[in-house]
Amino acid sequence: SEAKALFSVTGMTCAACAGSVEKGIKRLPGIREALVDVLNNRALVHFYPSLVNEETIREAIEDVGFKATLLR
């Protein structure tokens, strides 16, 4: 089944930042959808928990160069 995780992502200052974050998340296995909102510093990710988890997604965001915190 599918799960959703909402992250706070800080440091995104333009639309291309959001594109980089989205690409970084979508590189992972088990990602169904990644919605990155640069104006509100949020990333909402729909994923399959059998394939990937919140911490791996959080680290993928940080690997792109932005600070990420799991909100829920």
| Residue span binding ligand 9UX (CB under 6 A) among the ranges 1-9, 14-22, 24-32, 47-55 | 14-22
CB of 54 to ligand 9UX, least distance (A): 23
Q: Which amino acid is at 26?
A: K
Give the Cα separation of 14 and 32 in Å (integer): 24
In the complex, what is the shortest distance from the CB of residue 31 to ligand 9UX, in angstroms, rounded to a whole number?
Answer: 21
Question: What's the order of all strands across the beta sheet hosting 3-10?
Answer: 31-37, 42-47, 3-10, 67-70
Asked if 13 touches ligand 9UX (CB under 6 A), the answer is yes
Query: Which residues form the interface with ligand 9UX (CB under 6 A)?
Result: 13-14, 16-17
